[in-house]
Each structure stands twice: as C-alpha cells, then as structure tokens.
Amino acid sequence: MMKGLKKWRLFSLLAVMTVFLSACGEEYITTLKPTGAVGKEQFNLLLFSIAIMALVTIVVSVLYLYAFMKARRSKLGEDYMPKQVEGSHTLEVIWTVIPIILLLILAVPTLISTYKFADVKAMDKVDEEGNKTALTVNVTAKLYWWEFEYPEQGIVTAQELVVPTDEKVYFNLKAADVKHSFWIPAVGGKMDTNVENVNKFYLEFGEESADLKDGVFYGKCAELCGPSHALMDFKVKAVDRNEFNDWVAAMQATEGATASAESTDLGEQTFANSCLMCHAVSGVGASGAMGPNLTTFGDRNRVAGVLEHSKESLEEWVKDPEAIKPGNLMTGKYGELSDEEISAVADYIMGLSIEE
C-alpha cells in the first residue's frame, strides 16, 4: 500500500510541476510570453478556452462531490434507493443544450480570429507609384533549411529572417520537397508549407529581438519531415524600420558579388571551385538555389541552424554534415577537400558579412 501511495505522490508532484514549469519558457521561443498582436490574440484565445474548460471541470467536480456526500449510505441507510431519472426529457435537454452553448461560446471567437488572421488582401495593396505598401516574404522550406526571399526588395537570404517591428509582415509559404511547417512560437501560430500550393498569412513583431538571448527569436519546423526534423531551425531578427531599411540597402549593395577561382586567397578559390555552384554570396538574385545563400553568414547566430557560430563548428559541418543533420543534401559533397582547404574556406565563409 505504501508503494502505491508513493506512486500517487510522485504522479501528483509531476502534475503540479508541469503546470508551473509550463510558464518558465524563454521569451525567444515560448508561446506563453507572446510578442506582437497576432501572438497575443492567440494567447488570449488560449486562456479563454482554458477558462471555459476549467469552469466545466469545476462544475462537474462540485456536482460529483455534492452527490457523493448527500447519498452516503451511512447517512441514508443500506436500503436507500435514489430517485431514478432515466428518460427525463428535461435532463436530456439540459445536458445536450449546455455543451452546445459552450461550443458556440468557444467557436465564435475562434472563427473570428481564424478569418482575421487569414485576411491577406492588404498584401497586394499598392501606392500611387504602383509599389506594394506591405512587406512580403516568400518562405521556401527545404530539407533541412529555410530560404527567405523579399520580392519587392529583390533580395534573398537564408536561415535568418530579418523583419521590421510594429507592422504586419506577410508570408507566402511553400515547400520545395516535402511538407514542412513554419512556426515562430513567440510571435504566432504555425502554418504548413506544402509542395502543391502556397499558404499565406501574416505576423506582427511587437518588440525588437536585440535584448533577447542570442538577439533573435527562434523559429522551428513543426511538421515531421525526416530524420533531422528537430534540427530544422531558423532565427528571426526583429529590428526597427530604419534599421531594416539599412539592412535591405546593404543586401542590395552585394549585387554581383561572387567568389573567384583565380583568387590568391585559398579560401575564396576553394569556395569558387567547390561551393559556388550551390551557395550564392550575393544577396541579390533569384530564389531556388540548391543550398542556403551565404551572403550574411558572418552575421548569423548559428552554423547549420543549430551549431555554435564559430569557425570550428563550420569546419565540423563541412567535414561531416551527416553526423549533425542526418539526411541533409550536402552529405558527401566535400569529401575531397583537405584539412587546409576546409580551414581556409571556413575563414572565407565566416568573413561574409554586411553588418558593420
């Protein structure tokens, strides 16, 4: 009996810890400390739903305890038979109508929010000169990385999304290979990226990310897509509008940049011969490259989305990407490089930067 009691105590402790620890998430990745109008409204809807369910639980528990205490055998006797209520139309109506009412109470705000967040008509609005007034980002999910294209600005980057704060940012979501799901937990709900169609929605970033851990919000793939699904991360830099405009201008200034196979720098030469066919070093150009755009690699937060941003991590990735992200498409592409060439190309890639 003591063993059973200990198990119940452990179960109760774990249940209590789950409730309290659920609020201990970091701001850069938790859904419980949202930033921006979308995330906050979705969080309020979550609290409203929990309140309705808690009310139902409390009422049912009170009724159960009331019946339990009132109908005790010690109080009413062994032969007491409570009134039989089977077939009562009144009770059947009550316990049919009440759940319907509760579902309607939940459904109305849920539907309103769903249609509100799906309204992307403003994405196509233009000013007097014919330029789109809203920022749009084309997101392409690939095994196991993310490409971000800014069509109106004519720039492309990867793995690190840069957005302005306090305005709606619209997203066109698609996948290049299998189904993925685009999710920035601290900013708003997730949405699938499909191969056969484009999904659209918007998010708002209510605060700059500079003060967060690592200076970024964390993004995730929320759809099981392969052996490295859990490692398909991306980061989000949220900055004010002026800083965003400066970033766009710096990206546009890289137009025409490339690596030369004739360079006297071993790193640049190696990159041109072995990497340039898949990885661009200019932020201006078409999307759809085989590998992530590396124009801003030196400014990023992580190597391959998950490793510490250092030369050593980059060398580790180039030498054996399969050991870090199983199933990635870069595996086996650089086996012919010597340690000297890997070190040199790592120096070159780490030096790719547009930030002062």
Query: What pLDDT shows up at residue 25?
Result: 66
Nearest residue to 200 (alpha-carbon basis) of 255, 123, 257? 123
Give the mean model confidence (pLDDT) for residues 231-238.
Answer: 96
**β-bridge partners, 158:** 147
Query: What pLDDT shows up at residue 321?
Result: 92
Predicted confidence band of residue 268 (pLDDT cuts 50, 70, 90): very high
The domain locations on the chain are: 31-117, 135-350
Query: What pLDDT shows up at residue 130?
Result: 83
Q: What is the pLDDT of residues 40-60, one digit of tens each?
A: 999 999 999 999 999 999 999
Superfamily per CATH, domain 135-350: Cupredoxins -  blue copper proteins (2.60.40.420)
Element (DSSP H or E) covering residue 58: helix 37-70
Query: What pLDDT shows up at residue 263?
Result: 93
Q: Does domain 31-117 have CATH number 1.10.287.90?
A: yes
Q: Tokens standing for 293? A: 């755009």
pLDDT at 213 > cutoff 90: no
pLDDT at 317 > cutoff 90: yes
Query: What pLDDT shows up at residue 307?
Result: 94
Give the mean model confidence (pLDDT) for residues 216-230.
Answer: 95
| Contact predicate 165/240, CB 8 Å | yes
The whole-angstrom separation of Cα 285 and Cα 335 is 29
> How many CB atoms neighbour CB 123 within 10 A?
18
> How many CB atoms neighbour CB 269 within 10 A?
19
pLDDT at 7 > cutoff 90: no
Q: What is the pLDDT of residues 275-309, one digit of tens each?
A: 999 999 999 987 778 899 999 999 999 999 999 99
Query: What pLDDT shows up at residue 69?
Result: 83
Query: What pLDDT shows up at residue 285?
Result: 81
Instruction: Return mean pLDDT, the chain.
Output: 90
pLDDT at 74 > cutoff 80: no
Predicted confidence band of residue 20 (pLDDT cuts 50, 70, 90): low
- Choice between 18 and 123, residue whose per-residue pLDDT is larger: 123
Query: What pLDDT shows up at residue 190?
Result: 94
Q: What is the pLDDT of residues 25-38, one digit of tens each?
A: 678 888 889 999 99
| Contact predicate 322/328, CB 8 Å | yes
Query: What pLDDT shows up at residue 149?
Result: 97
User: β-pairing, 302-303 with 191-193?
Assistant: unpaired
**β-bridge partners, 149:** 138, 156
Report the percent of the chain where pLDDT is more than 70.
92
Query: What pLDDT shows up at residue 129?
Result: 85
Q: What is the pLDDT of residues 118-164, one digit of tens each?
A: 999 999 998 888 888 999 999 999 999 999 999 999 999 999 999 99
The whole-angstrom separation of Cα 245 and Cα 165 is 12
Nearest residue to 327 (alpha-carbon basis) of 230, 228, 179, 224? 228
User: β-pairing, 155-158 with 145-150?
Assistant: antiparallel
Query: What pLDDT shows up at residue 80?
Result: 75
Give the mean model confidence (pLDDT) for residues 309-338.
Answer: 90
Report the percent of the chain where pLDDT is more than 90.
73
pLDDT at 16 > cutoff 70: no
The whole-angstrom separation of Cα 152 and Cα 150 is 6
> How many CB atoms neighbour CB 150 within 10 A?
21
Predicted confidence band of residue 76 (pLDDT cuts 50, 70, 90): confident
| Contact predicate 329/258, CB 8 Å | no
- Residue partners of 96: CB distance under 8 A and separation at least 6: none
